[in-house]
Amino acid sequence: MCDTCGCPSPSDHTHDHSHNHSNPKTIDVHASLFAANDALARVNREHFDEIGAVALNLISSPGSGKTTLLEHTIEALKGEINIAVIEGDIETERDAERIRAKGVPVIQLTTGGACHLDAAMTHKGFHRLQKEPGGDKIDLLFIENVGNLVCPATFDLGEHERVVFVSVPEGPDKPSKYPKAFISSQTFVITKTDLLPYFDFPVAEARGDALRLNPNLRTMELASTTGEGMETWLNYLRELVAAKKAQKNV
Amino acid sequence: MHEISLVQGLFQQLKDLADENSAQKITRVTMEIGPLCGVVLDSFQFGFEILSADDEMLRGAKLIVKIPDVSYKCTECGHVEVIAGPRPEECPKCKDLLLIPTGGEDLILLQVEME
Protein backbone atom coordinates (compact mmCIF):
# COMPACT_ATOMS: atom_id res chain seq x y z
CA MET A 1 0.00 0.00 0.00
CA CYS A 2 1.06 3.55 -0.66
CA ASP A 3 2.30 5.30 2.47
CA THR A 4 1.25 8.71 1.23
CA CYS A 5 -2.38 8.19 0.50
CA GLY A 6 -3.14 4.55 1.19
CA CYS A 7 -3.99 3.85 -2.44
CA PRO A 8 -3.16 0.32 -3.57
CA SER A 9 -0.53 0.90 -6.26
CA PRO A 10 2.21 3.23 -5.07
CA SER A 11 4.51 2.74 -8.04
CA ASP A 12 1.90 3.11 -10.75
CA HIS A 13 1.04 6.77 -10.50
CA THR A 14 2.18 10.14 -9.37
CA HIS A 15 0.24 11.99 -6.71
CA ASP A 16 -1.22 14.65 -8.91
CA HIS A 17 -4.79 13.51 -8.46
CA SER A 18 -7.11 14.02 -5.56
CA HIS A 19 -7.37 11.20 -3.09
CA ASN A 20 -11.05 10.66 -2.77
CA HIS A 21 -11.03 7.05 -3.98
CA SER A 22 -14.55 5.82 -3.77
CA ASN A 23 -14.89 2.93 -1.32
CA PRO A 24 -11.67 0.97 -1.83
CA LYS A 25 -12.52 -2.60 -1.09
CA THR A 26 -10.53 -5.78 -0.64
CA ILE A 27 -12.27 -9.05 -1.32
CA ASP A 28 -10.94 -12.51 -0.47
CA VAL A 29 -12.04 -14.78 -3.25
CA HIS A 30 -10.00 -17.99 -3.19
CA ALA A 31 -11.50 -19.43 -6.36
CA SER A 32 -9.68 -21.73 -8.75
CA LEU A 33 -9.42 -20.50 -12.33
CA PHE A 34 -9.89 -24.11 -13.34
CA ALA A 35 -13.10 -24.35 -11.32
CA ALA A 36 -15.49 -23.62 -14.20
CA ASN A 37 -13.76 -26.09 -16.51
CA ASP A 38 -13.46 -28.73 -13.78
CA ALA A 39 -17.16 -28.43 -12.87
CA LEU A 40 -18.17 -28.99 -16.48
CA ALA A 41 -15.66 -31.83 -16.77
CA ARG A 42 -17.39 -33.53 -13.84
CA VAL A 43 -20.72 -33.16 -15.63
CA ASN A 44 -19.19 -34.75 -18.73
CA ARG A 45 -17.78 -37.64 -16.70
CA GLU A 46 -21.14 -38.29 -15.03
CA HIS A 47 -22.77 -38.27 -18.44
CA PHE A 48 -20.26 -40.81 -19.79
CA ASP A 49 -20.84 -42.94 -16.68
CA GLU A 50 -24.58 -42.80 -17.18
CA ILE A 51 -24.40 -44.24 -20.67
CA GLY A 52 -21.72 -46.72 -19.58
CA ALA A 53 -18.97 -45.38 -21.85
CA VAL A 54 -15.25 -45.17 -21.05
CA ALA A 55 -13.74 -41.86 -22.19
CA LEU A 56 -10.05 -41.50 -23.02
CA ASN A 57 -8.29 -38.18 -23.62
CA LEU A 58 -5.42 -38.70 -26.08
CA ILE A 59 -2.56 -36.21 -25.83
CA SER A 60 0.60 -35.92 -27.92
CA SER A 61 2.61 -33.72 -30.25
CA PRO A 62 1.30 -33.37 -33.81
CA GLY A 63 2.20 -36.37 -35.94
CA SER A 64 2.75 -38.97 -33.21
CA GLY A 65 0.37 -41.37 -34.96
CA LYS A 66 -2.78 -41.00 -32.84
CA THR A 67 -5.20 -41.05 -35.77
CA THR A 68 -3.43 -43.98 -37.42
CA LEU A 69 -3.54 -45.90 -34.14
CA LEU A 70 -7.28 -45.17 -33.89
CA GLU A 71 -7.85 -46.46 -37.44
CA HIS A 72 -6.12 -49.74 -36.60
CA THR A 73 -7.85 -49.96 -33.21
CA ILE A 74 -11.30 -49.55 -34.78
CA GLU A 75 -10.48 -52.29 -37.31
CA ALA A 76 -9.25 -54.65 -34.61
CA LEU A 77 -12.19 -54.15 -32.24
CA LYS A 78 -14.94 -54.10 -34.87
CA GLY A 79 -17.96 -56.10 -33.71
CA GLU A 80 -16.53 -56.33 -30.21
CA ILE A 81 -16.57 -52.79 -28.79
CA ASN A 82 -18.66 -49.82 -29.97
CA ILE A 83 -16.17 -47.02 -30.51
CA ALA A 84 -16.85 -43.33 -31.09
CA VAL A 85 -14.38 -40.50 -31.63
CA ILE A 86 -14.20 -36.77 -30.99
CA GLU A 87 -11.42 -35.28 -33.09
CA GLY A 88 -9.83 -32.01 -31.96
CA ASP A 89 -7.78 -29.93 -34.37
CA ILE A 90 -7.16 -26.28 -35.01
CA GLU A 91 -8.45 -26.54 -38.58
CA THR A 92 -9.84 -29.08 -41.10
CA GLU A 93 -12.12 -32.10 -41.05
CA ARG A 94 -9.37 -34.42 -42.28
CA ASP A 95 -8.96 -36.59 -39.19
CA ALA A 96 -12.71 -37.02 -38.80
CA GLU A 97 -12.97 -38.09 -42.45
CA ARG A 98 -10.30 -40.76 -41.88
CA ILE A 99 -12.19 -42.11 -38.86
CA ARG A 100 -15.60 -41.84 -40.57
CA ALA A 101 -14.22 -44.02 -43.37
CA LYS A 102 -13.83 -46.76 -40.74
CA GLY A 103 -17.57 -46.65 -40.08
CA VAL A 104 -17.75 -45.36 -36.52
CA PRO A 105 -19.51 -42.21 -35.23
CA VAL A 106 -17.15 -39.26 -35.22
CA ILE A 107 -17.32 -35.50 -35.01
CA GLN A 108 -14.59 -32.96 -35.60
CA LEU A 109 -14.04 -30.05 -33.24
CA THR A 110 -12.06 -27.28 -34.88
CA THR A 111 -10.84 -24.88 -32.24
CA GLY A 112 -10.09 -22.10 -34.74
CA GLY A 113 -6.69 -21.38 -33.24
CA ALA A 114 -7.01 -22.56 -29.65
CA CYS A 115 -4.22 -24.91 -28.65
CA HIS A 116 -6.32 -27.33 -26.58
CA LEU A 117 -9.80 -28.73 -26.05
CA ASP A 118 -11.68 -27.79 -22.89
CA ALA A 119 -14.63 -29.32 -21.05
CA ALA A 120 -17.16 -26.97 -22.72
CA MET A 121 -16.05 -27.89 -26.25
CA THR A 122 -16.08 -31.57 -25.32
CA HIS A 123 -19.58 -31.22 -23.88
CA LYS A 124 -20.98 -29.67 -27.06
CA GLY A 125 -19.03 -32.12 -29.19
CA PHE A 126 -20.39 -35.12 -27.33
CA HIS A 127 -24.00 -34.00 -27.80
CA ARG A 128 -23.36 -33.66 -31.53
CA LEU A 129 -21.71 -37.07 -31.53
CA GLN A 130 -24.75 -38.70 -29.94
CA LYS A 131 -26.87 -37.54 -32.89
CA GLU A 132 -24.55 -39.24 -35.40
CA PRO A 133 -25.59 -42.68 -36.71
CA GLY A 134 -24.47 -45.17 -34.02
CA GLY A 135 -23.92 -42.39 -31.51
CA ASP A 136 -26.62 -43.77 -29.23
CA LYS A 137 -24.54 -46.84 -28.40
CA ILE A 138 -21.00 -46.06 -27.25
CA ASP A 139 -18.73 -48.28 -25.13
CA LEU A 140 -15.48 -46.46 -25.72
CA LEU A 141 -15.04 -42.78 -26.53
CA PHE A 142 -11.70 -41.50 -27.80
CA ILE A 143 -11.18 -37.77 -27.50
CA GLU A 144 -8.21 -36.95 -29.70
CA ASN A 145 -6.90 -33.66 -28.34
CA VAL A 146 -5.19 -30.94 -30.40
CA GLY A 147 -1.61 -32.00 -31.18
CA ASN A 148 0.29 -30.26 -28.39
CA LEU A 149 2.07 -31.66 -25.33
CA VAL A 150 1.71 -28.48 -23.28
CA CYS A 151 -1.70 -26.82 -23.05
CA PRO A 152 -4.05 -29.85 -23.22
CA ALA A 153 -2.44 -31.20 -20.04
CA THR A 154 -4.05 -28.43 -17.99
CA PHE A 155 -7.67 -29.07 -19.00
CA ASP A 156 -9.78 -31.91 -17.67
CA LEU A 157 -12.34 -32.87 -20.33
CA GLY A 158 -14.21 -35.34 -18.14
CA GLU A 159 -12.21 -38.32 -19.36
CA HIS A 160 -11.75 -41.43 -17.21
CA GLU A 161 -8.16 -41.86 -18.25
CA ARG A 162 -5.60 -39.78 -20.06
CA VAL A 163 -3.15 -41.36 -22.49
CA VAL A 164 0.00 -39.58 -23.61
CA PHE A 165 1.84 -40.66 -26.78
CA VAL A 166 5.40 -40.10 -27.95
CA SER A 167 6.57 -41.42 -31.31
CA VAL A 168 10.09 -42.70 -31.85
CA PRO A 169 11.14 -39.94 -34.31
CA GLU A 170 10.33 -37.28 -31.69
CA GLY A 171 13.13 -38.42 -29.41
CA PRO A 172 13.19 -39.81 -25.87
CA ASP A 173 13.40 -36.52 -23.97
CA LYS A 174 9.71 -35.56 -24.20
CA PRO A 175 8.77 -36.68 -20.66
CA SER A 176 11.50 -34.52 -19.15
CA LYS A 177 10.68 -31.53 -21.33
CA TYR A 178 6.89 -31.66 -21.00
CA PRO A 179 6.34 -33.09 -17.52
CA LYS A 180 2.74 -32.00 -16.96
CA ALA A 181 1.39 -34.22 -19.74
CA PHE A 182 3.07 -37.24 -18.15
CA ILE A 183 2.22 -36.36 -14.54
CA SER A 184 -1.47 -35.99 -15.39
CA SER A 185 -1.76 -39.16 -17.51
CA GLN A 186 -2.48 -42.75 -16.51
CA THR A 187 -0.92 -44.37 -19.56
CA PHE A 188 2.17 -43.62 -21.66
CA VAL A 189 2.43 -45.16 -25.13
CA ILE A 190 5.56 -45.06 -27.28
CA THR A 191 4.45 -45.29 -30.93
CA LYS A 192 6.18 -46.09 -34.25
CA THR A 193 8.53 -48.61 -32.62
CA ASP A 194 9.07 -50.09 -36.10
CA LEU A 195 11.36 -47.07 -36.64
CA LEU A 196 13.62 -47.86 -33.65
CA PRO A 197 16.43 -49.20 -35.90
CA TYR A 198 16.66 -45.81 -37.63
CA PHE A 199 16.50 -43.44 -34.66
CA ASP A 200 18.45 -42.97 -31.47
CA PHE A 201 15.59 -43.64 -29.07
CA PRO A 202 16.53 -45.51 -25.89
CA VAL A 203 13.11 -46.86 -24.88
CA ALA A 204 14.20 -47.58 -21.30
CA GLU A 205 15.39 -44.01 -20.85
CA ALA A 206 12.12 -42.48 -22.10
CA ARG A 207 10.11 -44.89 -19.96
CA GLY A 208 12.34 -44.24 -16.92
CA ASP A 209 12.05 -40.47 -17.25
CA ALA A 210 8.27 -40.72 -17.45
CA LEU A 211 8.07 -43.05 -14.44
CA ARG A 212 10.26 -40.72 -12.46
CA LEU A 213 7.65 -38.01 -12.97
CA ASN A 214 4.73 -40.34 -12.37
CA PRO A 215 5.54 -43.72 -10.82
CA ASN A 216 1.95 -44.90 -11.37
CA LEU A 217 2.07 -44.60 -15.18
CA ARG A 218 1.19 -47.68 -17.20
CA THR A 219 3.63 -47.88 -20.12
CA MET A 220 3.50 -49.68 -23.46
CA GLU A 221 5.21 -49.62 -26.84
CA LEU A 222 3.64 -50.32 -30.21
CA ALA A 223 3.72 -49.87 -33.98
CA SER A 224 0.20 -49.60 -35.42
CA THR A 225 1.27 -50.25 -39.00
CA THR A 226 3.11 -53.54 -38.25
CA GLY A 227 0.84 -54.60 -35.38
CA GLU A 228 3.75 -55.01 -32.98
CA GLY A 229 2.62 -54.38 -29.39
CA MET A 230 -0.98 -53.81 -30.49
CA GLU A 231 -2.36 -56.67 -28.41
CA THR A 232 -1.22 -55.00 -25.15
CA TRP A 233 -2.97 -51.79 -26.20
CA LEU A 234 -6.15 -53.59 -27.25
CA ASN A 235 -6.24 -55.59 -24.01
CA TYR A 236 -5.86 -52.39 -22.03
CA LEU A 237 -8.92 -50.99 -23.85
CA ARG A 238 -10.87 -54.25 -23.38
CA GLU A 239 -10.15 -54.19 -19.64
CA LEU A 240 -11.28 -50.57 -19.31
CA VAL A 241 -14.54 -51.30 -21.13
CA ALA A 242 -15.16 -54.49 -19.13
CA ALA A 243 -14.53 -52.66 -15.84
CA LYS A 244 -16.97 -49.92 -16.81
CA LYS A 245 -19.64 -52.48 -17.75
CA ALA A 246 -19.14 -54.29 -14.43
CA GLN A 247 -19.42 -50.98 -12.59
CA LYS A 248 -22.63 -50.17 -14.40
CA ASN A 249 -24.17 -53.54 -13.59
CA VAL A 250 -23.48 -53.25 -9.84
CA MET B 1 -0.30 -20.03 -24.92
CA HIS B 2 -3.36 -21.20 -23.01
CA GLU B 3 -2.32 -18.59 -20.42
CA ILE B 4 -4.06 -15.89 -22.47
CA SER B 5 -7.38 -17.73 -22.38
CA LEU B 6 -6.96 -18.27 -18.64
CA VAL B 7 -6.35 -14.52 -18.16
CA GLN B 8 -9.47 -13.80 -20.24
CA GLY B 9 -11.48 -16.07 -17.95
CA LEU B 10 -9.96 -14.35 -14.92
CA PHE B 11 -10.93 -10.91 -16.23
CA GLN B 12 -14.51 -12.01 -16.71
CA GLN B 13 -14.55 -13.25 -13.11
CA LEU B 14 -13.03 -9.95 -11.90
CA LYS B 15 -15.60 -7.87 -13.77
CA ASP B 16 -18.43 -9.90 -12.28
CA LEU B 17 -16.95 -9.31 -8.83
CA ALA B 18 -16.60 -5.58 -9.50
CA ASP B 19 -20.23 -5.42 -10.66
CA GLU B 20 -21.44 -7.25 -7.57
CA ASN B 21 -19.58 -4.75 -5.41
CA SER B 22 -20.44 -1.67 -7.50
CA ALA B 23 -16.76 -0.94 -8.11
CA GLN B 24 -15.42 0.88 -11.17
CA LYS B 25 -11.76 -0.12 -11.04
CA ILE B 26 -9.80 -3.23 -10.18
CA THR B 27 -6.53 -2.07 -8.64
CA ARG B 28 -4.80 -5.20 -7.41
CA VAL B 29 -5.17 -8.91 -8.07
CA THR B 30 -3.46 -11.58 -5.96
CA MET B 31 -3.05 -15.02 -7.54
CA GLU B 32 -1.62 -18.29 -6.36
CA ILE B 33 0.08 -20.10 -9.23
CA GLY B 34 1.09 -23.68 -8.41
CA PRO B 35 4.43 -24.78 -9.87
CA LEU B 36 2.73 -27.89 -11.31
CA CYS B 37 -0.45 -26.29 -12.65
CA GLY B 38 0.81 -26.15 -16.22
CA VAL B 39 0.88 -22.37 -16.39
CA VAL B 40 4.01 -20.49 -17.36
CA LEU B 41 4.39 -17.59 -14.95
CA ASP B 42 5.96 -15.23 -17.50
CA SER B 43 3.22 -15.94 -20.06
CA PHE B 44 0.51 -15.39 -17.47
CA GLN B 45 2.06 -12.08 -16.40
CA PHE B 46 2.48 -11.05 -20.02
CA GLY B 47 -1.15 -11.92 -20.78
CA PHE B 48 -2.28 -9.94 -17.73
CA GLU B 49 -0.21 -6.96 -18.82
CA ILE B 50 -1.39 -6.74 -22.42
CA LEU B 51 -5.04 -7.54 -21.75
CA SER B 52 -5.33 -5.17 -18.77
CA ALA B 53 -3.79 -2.30 -20.77
CA ASP B 54 -6.68 -2.69 -23.17
CA ASP B 55 -9.40 -2.72 -20.55
CA GLU B 56 -10.93 0.31 -18.87
CA MET B 57 -11.71 -1.45 -15.62
CA LEU B 58 -8.37 -3.21 -15.29
CA ARG B 59 -5.92 -0.66 -16.69
CA GLY B 60 -3.01 -0.22 -14.26
CA ALA B 61 -4.11 -3.13 -12.07
CA LYS B 62 -1.24 -4.77 -10.24
CA LEU B 63 -0.75 -8.53 -10.36
CA ILE B 64 0.71 -10.15 -7.25
CA VAL B 65 1.74 -13.79 -7.60
CA LYS B 66 2.28 -16.24 -4.76
CA ILE B 67 3.96 -19.56 -5.46
CA PRO B 68 2.85 -22.33 -3.08
CA ASP B 69 5.06 -25.16 -1.80
CA VAL B 70 4.86 -28.64 -3.28
CA SER B 71 5.48 -31.81 -1.23
CA TYR B 72 7.46 -34.57 -2.90
CA LYS B 73 7.22 -37.97 -1.27
CA CYS B 74 9.93 -40.49 -1.95
CA THR B 75 8.48 -43.86 -3.00
CA GLU B 76 11.54 -45.66 -1.62
CA CYS B 77 12.21 -44.24 1.88
CA GLY B 78 9.05 -42.21 2.46
CA HIS B 79 10.90 -38.95 3.03
CA VAL B 80 8.83 -35.85 2.22
CA GLU B 81 10.61 -32.87 0.74
CA VAL B 82 8.65 -29.60 0.73
CA ILE B 83 9.81 -26.90 -1.71
CA ALA B 84 8.44 -24.12 -3.87
CA GLY B 85 11.25 -24.24 -6.41
CA PRO B 86 11.83 -26.66 -9.28
CA ARG B 87 11.20 -30.37 -8.88
CA PRO B 88 14.05 -32.13 -7.03
CA GLU B 89 16.09 -34.48 -9.23
CA GLU B 90 16.27 -37.16 -6.54
CA CYS B 91 15.37 -37.85 -2.92
CA PRO B 92 17.81 -35.87 -0.77
CA LYS B 93 17.82 -38.72 1.80
CA CYS B 94 18.16 -41.97 -0.17
CA LYS B 95 18.87 -40.65 -3.71
CA ASP B 96 15.95 -42.62 -5.14
CA LEU B 97 14.46 -41.08 -8.29
CA LEU B 98 10.76 -41.83 -7.88
CA LEU B 99 9.06 -38.93 -6.09
CA ILE B 100 5.31 -38.33 -5.96
CA PRO B 101 4.25 -34.67 -5.81
CA THR B 102 1.30 -33.36 -3.81
CA GLY B 103 -0.10 -29.85 -4.20
CA GLY B 104 0.97 -27.07 -6.53
CA GLU B 105 -1.55 -28.04 -9.19
CA ASP B 106 -4.01 -25.21 -8.86
CA LEU B 107 -4.34 -21.69 -10.17
CA ILE B 108 -6.24 -19.65 -7.61
CA LEU B 109 -7.60 -16.13 -7.48
CA LEU B 110 -6.89 -15.25 -3.84
CA GLN B 111 -7.78 -11.60 -3.40
CA VAL B 112 -9.01 -8.58 -5.33
CA GLU B 113 -8.76 -4.91 -4.48
CA MET B 114 -11.21 -2.57 -6.17
CA GLU B 115 -12.58 0.89 -5.83
Using one digit for the tens of pLDDT, what is the confidence trace for B72-108?
998 889 999 998 877 888 899 998 877 888 888 889 9
Q: What was the pLDDT predicted at B1? A: 66
Percent pLDDT > 90 in chain A is 76
> What does the alpha-carbon distance between residue A10 and residue A6 come to, in Å, rounded to a whole number?
8
* Contact (CB, 8 A) for B113 and A26: yes
Digit-coded pLDDT (tens) for A213-230: 898 999 999 999 999 999
Average pLDDT taken over every residue of chain A:
90
> What does the alpha-carbon distance between residue B89 and residue B97 come to, in Å, rounded to a whole number?
7
Contacts of B9 in chain A (CB under 8 A): 33, 36
Using the beta-carbon criterion (under 8 Å), do B111 and A28 form an inter-chain contact?
yes
Mean pLDDT over residues A28-55, rounded?
94
Within a 10 A sphere around the Cβ of A87, how many other Cβ atoms? 29
Residue A31 has pLDDT above 50, yes or no: yes
Handedness of CA B86, B91, B97, B98 (dihedral sign): negative
* Contact (CB, 8 A) for B21 and B57: no
Query: Hey, what CATH class is A62-159 in?
Result: alpha beta
End-to-end CA gap in chain A: 59
Contacts of B27 in chain A (CB under 8 A): 7-9, 24
pLDDT band (50, 70, 90) for residue B37: confident
CATH number at residue B43: 3.30.2320.50
Q: What was the pLDDT predicted at A114? A: 79
Digit-coded pLDDT (tens) for A69-123: 999 999 999 999 999 999 998 888 889 999 999 999 999 998 877 788 999 999 9
Residue B26 counted as domain residue? yes
Domains A62-159 and A163-250 fall in the same CATH topology = yes
- State the smallest CA–CA distance between residue A9 and chain B in angstroms: 7
Contacts of B97 in chain A (CB under 8 A): 208, 212
Q: What was the pLDDT predicted at A112? A: 79
Task: Identify the contact set of chain B against chain A, taking CB-CB distances under 8 A.
Answer: 1-2, 5-6, 9-10, 13, 17, 21, 23-24, 27-28, 36-39, 60-62, 75, 87, 97-101, 106-115
Mean pLDDT over residues A179-205, rounded?
96
- State the smallest CA–CA distance between residue B48 and chain A in angstroms: 14
> What is the tally of structural domains in chain B?
1
Q: What was the pLDDT predicted at A10? A: 41
Handedness of CA A221, A239, A117, B34 (dihedral sign): negative
Query: Hey, what CATH class is A163-250 in?
Result: alpha beta
Q: How many Cβ pairs within 8 Å bridge chains A and B?
A: 95
Residue B29 counted as domain residue? yes
> What does the alpha-carbon distance between residue B61 and residue B26 come to, in Å, rounded to a whole number?
6
User: Can you give the residue range of the structural domain that contains B27?
Assistant: 2-68+104-114
Q: What was the pLDDT predicted at A231? A: 98
Q: Could you tell me the residue ranges of all domains in chain A?
A: 62-159, 163-250
Residue A189 has pLDDT above 60, yes or no: yes
Q: What was the pLDDT predicted at A110? A: 87
DSSP string, B21-90: TT-S-EEEEEEEE-TTSS--HHHHHHHHHHHHHT-TTTTT-EEEEE---EEEEETTT--EEEESSSPPSS
Q: What was the pLDDT predicted at A230? A: 98
Residue B22 counted as domain residue? yes
- State the smallest CA–CA distance between residue A164 and chain B in angstroms: 15
pTM of the model: 0.81
Q: What was the pLDDT predicted at A6? A: 45
| Mutation target among A33, A59, A90 for the B interface, most CBs of B within 10 A | A33
Mean pLDDT over residues A148-169, rounded?
95
Residue B38 counted as domain residue? yes
Nearest CA in chain A to B20: A27
